[in-house]
Copies of this chain bind each other. A is one copy, B any other.
Amino acid sequence: MQAEIISIGDEILIGQTINTNAAWMGEHLNTIGIRVHRTTAIADSKEEIVSMITEALSRSQLVLITGGLGPTKDDITKKTLAEYFDMPLESDEQTLERVASFFRQRGLPVLAVNEDQALMPKGCTILHNLRGTANGMWFEKDGKVVVSMPGVPYEMEWLMENEVFPRVMNFFKRPAIVHRTILTTGVGESFLADKISAWEDSLEEQHIKLAYLPSPGAVKLRMSAYGGGSEEELKAIIHQKENELLAIIGQHVFGFEKDTLASVVGDYLKKANATIAVAESCTGGMISHLITEIPGSSSYFLGGLITYNEKIKIAELGVSEDLIAKYTVYSEEVALAMASSSLKTFGADFTISTTGVAGPNDSDGVTVGTIWVAAASKEKAVCTKLRLGKSRERNIIMASNAALNLLRKEFLQINR
């Protein structure tokens, strides 16, 4: 079976909203064995919506639509769908009550535009949205399904998980698909491609597709087995191929699937019952954020000091003024001192630090993208000098990941 996604909204076409919904849906549909073969973004226009649904139904069994269900005047999806499926809008009591109590609980008046949100196409299956005021809708036609959901990610995700997936799993027979993602860091895409060329050639006869997914500082390798057979059979083949791959490039692999450098470091710290603190200059809080976006990180993350100002490096971290005078803040010596000093400041087992020029311009004669990352324990401290590019955003994320990776490699010695 084929599924496709239609994202409705001018804001997507003109780039004011990035289409994260399509990515979320594609990923989650895959885990239940449904492959999305096309994703289209179109304008809030009745003609576009009607022609797009017609087109999609001509080639796909499942069509998932997001957007255009809000209370405002640019939201025309519901009305268009009601016309398309020839189902007049009528007020749904349950929805009306839910919407009214939503506003009452917040001490807000119930407006006419909110009452209109209870109008639903007569005959569709209403997918009640317990995270917001705009319901989803499920339409069936000639053995095919069209689902419409609001574009707010938080609401769409709730509806997919609670209303759409269970219905989809009942409605469609699905072939098995198995994916496996192996995460590498510190080496480039073409280096990897060259190293694993023979292995990659061997995937074809097993009906496994391989994708290289580069991101700042990392390359993901994703195997996808579509070759028929049961899920268990596909998993066994993927498992064998993974072991072969690890034998070739294992030293560059830091994790699997949804792992991040911060989550891998966090897992190790939890197991070792150890703690971490950070001292960030040019990464400006990004390392702390990467660590703390992980639920449960409070069990090993003690805290961080962001020393954007030289005086703070001296006063709060205890980095020596003479050292800074001698080597400047942009130096290996200061990076190492920041890591070592913060061991004491926070009473942590491990620390990581950064200093350098994130950009977009050179600073004090130091070329933009020159960044030192360091890591320390009571026993030793290590430092690496990075030569990155001119993009501030990219430098911040690449230096943050390099610092986490330095700790992982030099201290945590995680052998995958």
Interface residues of A (CB under 8 A from B): 9-20, 22-28, 30, 35-44, 48, 70-74, 108, 111, 113-114, 133, 152, 154, 179, 181, 188-191, 193-194, 197, 200, 209-214, 220, 222, 224, 278, 280, 284-289, 291-293, 295, 297-298, 301-309, 311-312, 316, 345-347, 358-361, 389, 391-394, 396
Contacts and interface: CB of A to CB of B under 8 A. Distances in A.
A65 to B, nearest CB: 15
B285 A304 contact: yes
B114 A190 contact: yes
A284 to B, nearest CB: 3
Given A15-B28, A39-B40, A306 B308 contact: no
Nearest to A24: B15
Nearest to A112: B194
Contacts of A194: 111, 113
A152 B43 CA distance: 26
Contacts of A27: 14-16
Nearest to A38: B42
B30 A14 contact: yes
B359 A74 contact: no
Most interface-central of A72, A286, A302 (chain B CB within 10 A)? A72
A309 B305 contact: no
Given A16-B181, A303-B309, A316-B345, 17 more contacts: A11-B222, A13-B36, A14-B35, A15-B22, A15-B24, A38-B41, A113-B193, A113-B197, A284-B291, A284-B301, A298-B309, A301-B309, A303-B305, A303-B307, A303-B308, A311-B347, A316-B346
A71 B280 CA distance: 36
A190 B113 contact: yes
Nearest to A10: B211
Contacts of A70: 189, 212, 214
Counted per complex, copies of this chain come to: 2
A38 B40 CA distance: 7
Contacts of A347: 311
A26 B39 contact: no
Contacts of A179: 14
Nearest to A42: B38
A292 B303 contact: no
A285 B125 CA distance: 44
A23 B16 CA distance: 7
B42 A30 contact: no
A292 B42 CA distance: 35
A386 to B, nearest CB: 13
Nearest to A109: B194
A306 B309 contact: no
Nearest to A286: B289
B392 A17 contact: no
A234 to B, nearest CB: 15
A28 B15 CA distance: 8
28 contacts: A9-B211, A13-B26, A13-B37, A14-B224, A15-B26, A15-B27, A15-B28, A16-B222, A39-B41, A71-B189, A72-B212, A73-B200, A74-B209, A74-B210, A113-B193, A113-B194, A113-B197, A114-B190, A154-B391, A284-B289, A284-B297, A285-B304, A292-B396, A303-B308, A303-B309, A303-B316, A306-B306, A316-B316
A51 B395 CA distance: 39
Contact of A23 (B18, B24, B213): B18
A20 B18 contact: yes
Nearest to A391: B154
A308 B292 contact: yes
A25 B39 CA distance: 17
Most interface-central of A22, A30, A291 (chain B CB within 10 A)? A22
Given A12-B39, A42-B37, A304-B305, A73 B288 contact: no
